[in-house]
Amino acid sequence: MVQGKPSAVMVVGGGVAGIQAALDLANRGLHVYLVERGPSIGGHMAQLDKTFPTMDCSICILAPKMVECGRHPNITIITDAEVVGLKGRAGDFRVRVLVRPRYVDLERCTGCGICVEKCPMRPPLRRIPDEFNVGLGERRAIYIPFPQAVPRAAIVDPEHCLYLRKNKCLLCEEFCQAEAVDFSQQPRELELHVGAIVIATGFEFLDASIVAEYGYGRYKNVLTSLELERLVCASGPTGGELVRPSDGKKPERIAFIQCVGSRSTRPGHAPYCSAVCCMYATKEAILIKEHEPECEVTIFYMDLRAFGKGFQELVTRAKEEYGIRYVRARPSRLIEDPGTGDVIVRYEDTEALELRDERFDLVVLCPALVPCRDNVKLAKALGLELDEHGFFGVLDPLLAPVDTNVPGIFVCGYCTGPKDISESVYQASCAAERAMEVVFGREVEG
C-alpha cells in the first residue's frame, strides 16, 4: 500500500450489489463506509419472495450477507444518508455525506419493538402505508423497516410522528428501556477520507399508472409484480395468502403482462429491455402454482428472454410441470368489469392470428425497471456522467465495464443498466476489485 493513502473506501447503496462490494473490500482488509439512503441495507432483494432460476428464498440467502456486513469489524454502515460532495482524486478522496436524523440512537437501540407497539399512529388514528410491503401493509410512525433489517433498529418517520408534528405523545421515549429514542437529533454532515468509491444505487420500478390503458391505480385487481411478490411471501402482509384486493377472493385465473412501459418508444417509457421480468414472471407464476395448484396462470410476452444459466430450463419446467401458459402478445388494453372486479385482457394472439378478450381474476403488470431518480443528484455531487436514461455510464462496456469518467469511482449492479442478481453480485465483486487496485496497486491515477 502506498504510504499515506487512506485504507478506507466507500460504497454507496446497500442493496445486494453494495453489500457484496462492501464485503469483498472489507475482507481484503480495507475499511468500508457503506452509505445507504434508507433506514436498512438489503435493497429490493430483501422484498423478493424467491429468486430465479434456483427458486432460493431471497431473504434467506441475503440476510446472512446483511448480517455479515452489520457485524464486520471493517464495515461502518451509515443509513439514512446521502453523498453530497466530493473533493480530491483517486486514492485521496474527501466525501461529504449528509446523515438525516433517525431520532433513534443506533448505538443504543436493540430493535426490541416496544416503541413500535406503543406508538399510537395506527388505525383508526392513521393508516400509514408500509414501504417494505409496497403499501399493502401498515406501519407506525416509529417502526422497524422489516424483521431482518440491518441495523435492526427503529426509525421515526417525521411526516407522521405526533411529537415532531404537534409536540405531544413521546410514548416511544417513555417506554424505551434502552433510552434510545432521541428527538434532539439534527441532520449532520460527515467528511470521510477514502481511496476509492463504488456506486451501487440499484433501480426503481416505473410507475405503472403511466401506461394508462392497463388501468393500474384505477382497477383494484391490477397489481404490480412487486406487490404480487409481497402477497405470495410468507412474511408479507397476508402471511403468504394470495387474495385479490377487491374482495379478498382467491383468484382462479391470473395473467402477467410483460414489458409494461419497457421496450416501448412512447414518451416516459423505457425503450430498453429490463432483462429480468420474463424470468421473475416465470418464477412468480410458479410460486402461484405452488400456493394454488388449481389456479390458471397466463404470461403475455413479446420475446421470452430466458438467456442465462438455467433460465431456459426453468421456463421449460414452468410450461411442462406447472402448466403455465405463455401467449405471445402485447395486450392493447385492460377493461374492468365493474360488477365482479374481474379484468378483461384484450390482445391479439399473434400465433393464432386472432383478436381476443379474455377474463382474469387478477392481472399482474411487470413494469420497466428504471434508474433511481436520485442518480441525478449523486452524479452531480461526484462529477459522474449519466446515460440518456439516467443509468451511470461506463468508460468502456467491453474492457472497463465498471470504470466511470472519474478515476477511482466505480459503478456496479442495476444502476449501470439492466441485469439480474447474479450479474449484479459478480459485477460488484468486479468493482470491488477495481477499488482494490486503486488502494493496493500502482494505480493512483486511473
Partner 1 sequence: MSERERGQEEGKGSEEPRVGVFICHCGLNIAGTVDVEEVVKYASTLPDVVVAKDYMYMCSSAGLDMIKEAIREHKLNRVVVAACTPRTHEPLFRQTCAEAGLNPYLFEMANIREHCSWVHMHEKKMATEKAKDIVRMTVAKARLLRPQEDIVVSVEPKALVIGGGVSGMTAALSLARQGFKVYLVEKEPELGGLLRKLNKIYPAFREASELLSELVKAVESEENIEVLTSTRVEHVKGFVGNFTVKLRRASGEELELFVGTIIVATGAVEYEPKGLYGYGELEGVITQLQLEERLRKGELGEPEAVVFILCAGAREAEGPRSYCSRICCITALKNAVLIKEERPETDIYVLYRDIQTPGIEYEELYHLARELGVRFVRYSPEKPPKVSAEGGRLRVSVFCTFLGRELLVPCDLVVLSAPLVQHEDGRGLSRLLKVPLSQDGFFLEAHPKLRPVEFASDGIFLCGAAHFPKPIGECVAQARAAAGKAAILMGARQLRTEAITAVVDEARCIGCGLCVELCPFGAPILEGRKARIREAVCKGCGTCAASCPRNAISMRHFTDEQIEAQIKALLSGR
Q: Which residues within the stretch 255-274 sit at the binding site for partner 1 (CB under 8 A)?
A: 263, 271-274
- CB neighbours of 293 closer than 8 A, spacing ≥ 6? none
Sort strands 50-51 and 128-129 into parallel, antiparallel or unpaired: unpaired
CB of 76 to partner 1, least distance (A): 17
List binders of partner 1 among 331-350 (CB under 8 A): 350
Question: Counting beta carbons within 10 angstroms of the beta carbon of residue 440, is it exposed (0 to 12), middle (13 to 18) or buried (19 or more)?
Answer: middle
Among residues 69, 306, 366, 372, the one that binds partner 1 under rule CB under 8 A: 306
Among residues 43, 91, 418, 446, the one that binds partner 1 under rule CB under 8 A: 418
- Which of residues 109 and 362 has its CB atom nearest to partner 1 in the complex? 109
- Which of residues 64 and 187 has its CB atom nearest to partner 1 in the complex? 64
List binders of partner 1 among 421-440 (CB under 8 A): 421-423, 425-430, 432-434, 436-437, 440
Buried b (16+ CB within 10 A) or exposed e, 331-365: beebebeeeebbbbbebeeeeeeeeeebebbbbbb
- Which of residues 76 and 422 has its CB atom nearest to partner 1 in the complex? 422
For position 322 contacting partner 1 by CB under 8 A, the verdict is no
For position 313 contacting partner 1 by CB under 8 A, the verdict is yes
For position 114 contacting partner 1 by CB under 8 A, the verdict is yes
- Which of residues 302 and 381 has its CB atom nearest to partner 1 in the complex? 302
Task: Give Cα separations from 340 to 249, 252, 333, 356 (angstroms).
Answer: 11, 13, 18, 20
For position 441 contacting partner 1 by CB under 8 A, the verdict is yes
List binders of partner 1 among 10-69 (CB under 8 A): 16, 24, 27-29, 51, 53-54, 56, 61, 64-65, 67
List binders of partner 1 among 347-366 (CB under 8 A): 350-351, 353
Residues 119, 124, 128, 130, CA torsion sign: positive
- Which of residues 146 and 391 has its CB atom nearest to partner 1 in the complex? 391
- CB neighbours of 397 closer than 8 A, spacing ≥ 6? none
CB count within 10 Å of CB 51 equals: 22
CB of 440 to partner 1, least distance (A): 5
Q: Nearest to residue 300, comparing CAs of 356, 247, 340? A: 356
| Entry field: residues in the chain | 446
- Give the whole-angstrom CA distance, residue 247 versus residue 442: 64
CA dihedral 68, 69, 70, 74 (to 10 degrees): 110
Q: Which stretch binds partner 1 (CB under 8 A): 125-133, 155-163, 250-258, 312-320?
A: 312-320
Sort strands 155-156 and 325-328 into parallel, antiparallel or unpaired: unpaired
CB of 316 to partner 1, least distance (A): 7
Among residues 6, 367, 401, 446, the one that binds partner 1 under rule CB under 8 A: 401
CB of 90 to partner 1, least distance (A): 14
CB of 338 to partner 1, least distance (A): 35
CB of 116 to partner 1, least distance (A): 10
Residues that contact partner 1, how many (by CB under 8 A): 74
β partners of residue 222 = 363
- Which of residues 38 and 418 has its CB atom nearest to partner 1 in the complex? 418
List binders of partner 1 among 161-180 (CB under 8 A): 177-178
Among residues 2, 87, 117, 126, the one that binds partner 1 under rule CB under 8 A: 117
Task: Give Cα separations from 222 to 108, 133, 297, 347 (angstroms).
Answer: 43, 16, 14, 16
Among residues 213, 252, 387, 445, the one that binds partner 1 under rule CB under 8 A: 387
Residues 190, 193, 198, 199, CA torsion sign: positive
For position 419 contacting partner 1 by CB under 8 A, the verdict is yes
Q: Which residue has the cell 466505480?
A: 410
For position 305 contacting partner 1 by CB under 8 A, the verdict is yes
Among residues 303, 321, 357, 445, the one that binds partner 1 under rule CB under 8 A: 303
- Which of residues 74 and 221 has its CB atom nearest to partner 1 in the complex? 74
- Which of residues 236 and 251 has its CB atom nearest to partner 1 in the complex? 236
For position 71 contacting partner 1 by CB under 8 A, the verdict is yes
Sort strands 253-260 and 296-301 into parallel, antiparallel or unpaired: parallel
The cell numbers describing 194, all together, are 477514502
List binders of partner 1 among 191-250 (CB under 8 A): none
Is-contact 18 36, C-beta < 8 A?
A: yes
Q: Which residue has the cell 405503472?
A: 208
